Chain A
Amino acid sequence: QKEVEQNSGPLSVPEGAIASLNCTYSDRVSQSFFWYRQYSGKSPELIMSIYSNGDKEDGRFTAQLNKASQYVSLLIRDSQPSDSATYLCAVGFSGFQKLVFGTGTRLLVSP
């Protein structure tokens, strides 16, 4: 059973702070990792993809991957109230086309 685990939160941060979201996955041979943002009642919106160990930055977002620890994270710098949403970690497991999603972490950014 391929699993993706996230803390459901909520994670509360003040405006301007760094939000750190974490995700672990069960299959060591996983190859592709994605972060999606989902506002309440809306569809998942792709924020970042990462495939190699290390950091990948895109604007205020940084994805970090550590395959040895089976761990992927998302940092959001200068958090804004509009970042308040549920952040979904999704993993593509080798040999499969499907994405396996975590339960998501709810982020609340207070003004």
Chain B
Amino acid sequence: EPEVTQTPSHQVTQMGQEVILRCVPISNHLYFYWYRQILGQKVEFLVSFYNNEISEKSEIFDDQFSVERPDGSNFTLKIRSTKLEDSAMYFCASSETGEYQPQHFGDGTRLSIL
């Protein structure tokens, strides 16, 4: 069964450093998402992406965050200057179409900011 793949599985970074989290969505899916889950808390939406542009973003997704689809398969989340509070699990998800469709999640990247 097709799946969303994420790399790396664990990223440790010094505060203030830039980090890039990578995702390969399911191949025939058109909508891509990033969510995060701080330990012990809810899964929170960050951003959705369609047709090479952001279609929706949350208040969390401030100027320190950016997303990109650099080629036909990868989808990346960049955090420019990491903060301690960015420590979380980051999940990439994709869906065939947008609204109302099930979103399929990758295994996540655990980001630890020191």
Contact = CB atoms under 8 A, between A and B. Distances in A.
Interface stretch (A13-21, A41-49, A58-66, A72-80): A41-49
A37 B102 CA distance: 14
B105 A92 contact: no
B75 interface: no
Contact of A102 (B35, B42, B102): B42
B33 A88 contact: no
A92 B55 CA distance: 15
B56 interface: yes
Interface residues of A, number: 25
A97 to B, nearest CB: 4
A12 B102 CA distance: 28
Contacts, number: 59
Contacts of B103: 34, 46, 99
Given A32-B100, A42-B107, A97 B56 contact: yes
B65 interface: no
Nearest to B92: A43
A96 B99 contact: yes
Interface in B42-63: 42-45, 48, 50, 55-56, 58
B25 interface: no
Nearest to A44: B105
B58 A31 contact: no
Interface of A: 31-32, 34, 36, 42-46, 49, 51, 88, 90, 92, 94-104
Interface of B: 31, 33, 35, 41-45, 48, 50, 55-56, 58, 89, 91, 98-108
